[in-house]
A and B are shown apart, each in its own frame.
Chain A
């Protein structure tokens, strides 16, 4: 799941939790899912190391990326 999709899902979860009439066990499941997504998104920001790569198309639709020293 992309970072943006994760954040979208988180927003959905919060909205669902805030809606009335949600059974408590469903609320707990949603909450657990939310915490897990939060952890993954946060990891993505803090542990991922951005790279700089040159895009090369070997043949129509066949791609290769090569690191550039930036």
Chain B
């Protein structure tokens, strides 16, 4: 309990007096109540109107809080941020000031979910919150639940911070971009099953490539749960695996509607996907973080579908062209075969004729050698051979000759008969 019984009652009565009626009319004040054993007479003085009725400090601050909260609903306030502090417990504290005034502000950690990022010192912001009083310090402060820099500054800053973190991890490197498949037959899509984006993608695929199937992994695409659902849907369809390319997207919307596509976890899931990813977020803002990490960026879901699937007619034309190439190359093969055959035949003929020539030459040489060895050649040079006249035995020794015997003498151009005159 923040207040004991009588103090609470005091606050209530003080507040009532502050609001509806003049403080001085104290007729209905009942500080002690009948149950608390009040005196028989009612004091004409209101609480705090005399030393005797002095109130507690806590009553004062609590009353001030109740009065301020009761009379001012949450408001947007514009000012410059100063003395920004991020407390260990996660809350943010800062001053919002202009030339002549300042108000302390607090952003509880649970309220920070809807705020893209912390403001910079000196940044001009608009803060939405409830003005209240912090009793422990007796200070007035604005309990901030929404905050943005003038001109989307905080959103830009948050995006830039995320972009830098992804860049530092190398996720934005151009070399990481995978090429899209030339002819996917199964396209995956992470989006809301009820959204316009899905209808657009279906109609583009039916028109361009009616043979292609679309597998939808459902996710809420806006609101607080969107980032976690999109991450889960990307991981789910990657585990499923039977897709060639993945579209992640939603139809157009305001900056806050599209904010899930600037989420760092979504960016990392896209980057980790097992197949090339096409981002297709209907843009009112320039570019999303999802666009930066995707392998291909399209400005709308329809454009993403067009990037994902080539026209079936083009694919069929490409197939026909390949068929023609196949025939041409086979004909070329046949021509090459015939050419090779003819070449081989020619070579064979040439080889055969060379061989015959070589044989002829070789026979001539042998004949020459035979001729050289023939004794006829010796006779040609003027030698003569003596042979027995009857058995034509060569007479090579004086022993073969006897005085008066006949013998034949073979000369270059014929034989003559000769007789031995006497033994030498």
Residues of A at the B interface (CB closer than 8 Å) are 2-4, 7, 10-11, 13-14, 17-18, 20, 22, 24, 27-28, 31, 34-35, 38, 41-42, 44-55, 57, 61, 63, 65, 68, 70
Q: Which residues of B contact A47 (CB under 8 A)?
A: 211
Chain B residues bordering chain A, tally (CB within 8 A)? 43
Looking at chain B's contact residues, is the secondary structure mostly helix, strand, loop, or mixed? Answer: helix
| Per-residue interface assignment for chain B, residues 196 to 223, with 1 indicating a CB less than 8 Å from any chain A CB and 0 otherwise | 0011001001100111111111100000
Q: Which residues of B contact A57 (CB under 8 A)?
A: 236, 239-240
Q: Once the chains bind, are B326 and A10 in contact (CB under 8 Å)? A: yes
Contact of A63 among B198, B199, B240, B316 (CB under 8 A): B240
Q: Which residues of B contact A70 (CB under 8 A)?
A: 198-199, 202, 206, 214
Could you tell me the distance in whole angstroms from the C-beta of B71 to the nearest C-beta in chain A?
Answer: 52
The 8 A-B residue pairs with the shortest CB-CB distance in the complex, in nearest-first order? A17-B329, A70-B202, A48-B211, A27-B333, A31-B330, A34-B326, A50-B212, A24-B337
Given known contacts A4-B182, A45-B319, A61-B239, A22 and B333 CB-to-CB distance under 8 angstroms:
yes
Q: Once the chains bind, are B237 and A55 in contact (CB under 8 Å)? A: yes
Q: Which residues of A contact B183 (CB under 8 A)?
A: 3-4, 7
Q: Once the chains bind, are A51 and B213 in contact (CB under 8 Å)? A: yes
Which of B319, B323, B334 has the most chain A CB atoms inside 10 A of its CB?
Answer: B319
Q: Which residues of A contact B209 (CB under 8 A)?
A: 50
Cα of A70 to Cα of B197 in the assembled complex, Å = 12
Q: Once the chains bind, are A17 and B326 in contact (CB under 8 Å)? A: yes
Could you tell me the distance in whole angstroms from the C-beta of A16 to the nearest C-beta in chain B?
Answer: 9
Q: Once the chains bind, are A46 and B199 in contact (CB under 8 Å)? A: no
Residues of B at the A interface (CB closer than 8 Å) are 181-185, 188, 193, 198-199, 202, 205-206, 209-218, 236-237, 239-240, 244, 312, 315-316, 318-319, 322-323, 325-326, 329-330, 332-334, 336-337
> Which residue of chain A has its CB nearest to the CB of B185?
A3
Cα of A11 to Cα of B363 in the assembled complex, Å = 59
Given known contacts A3-B183, A55-B236, A24 and B214 CB-to-CB distance under 8 angstroms:
no
Q: Which residues of A contact B181 (CB under 8 A)?
A: 4
Cα of A70 to Cα of B195 in the assembled complex, Å = 11
Q: Once the chains bind, are A53 and B211 in contact (CB under 8 Å)? A: no
Q: Which residues of B contact A27 (CB under 8 A)?
A: 330, 333-334
Q: Once the chains bind, are B326 and A14 in contact (CB under 8 Å)? A: yes
Looking at chain A's contact residues, is the secondary structure mostly helix, strand, loop, or mixed? Answer: helix
Q: Which residues of B contact A51 (CB under 8 A)?
A: 213-214
Cα of A45 to Cα of B236 in the assembled complex, Å = 28
Q: Which residues of A contact B318 (CB under 8 A)?
A: 7
The 10 sampled A-B contact pairs (Cβ below 8 Å) are A3-B183, A17-B329, A17-B330, A27-B330, A31-B326, A35-B323, A50-B212, A54-B216, A55-B215, A61-B239
Given known contacts A4-B183, A17-B326, A38 and B319 CB-to-CB distance under 8 angstroms:
yes
Q: Once the chains bind, are A52 and B330 in contact (CB under 8 Å)? A: no
Given known contacts A3-B185, A27-B333, A38 and B323 CB-to-CB distance under 8 angstroms:
yes
Q: Which residues of A contact B205 (CB under 8 A)?
A: 50
> Which residue of chain B has its CB nearest to the CB of A13?
B326
Cα of A23 to Cα of B330 in the assembled complex, Å = 11
> Which residue of chain A has its CB nearest to the CB of B309?
A50
Q: Once the chains bind, are A45 and B211 in contact (CB under 8 Å)? A: yes
Q: Once the chains bind, are B206 and A50 in contact (CB under 8 Å)? A: yes
Cα of A17 to Cα of B22 in the assembled complex, Å = 105
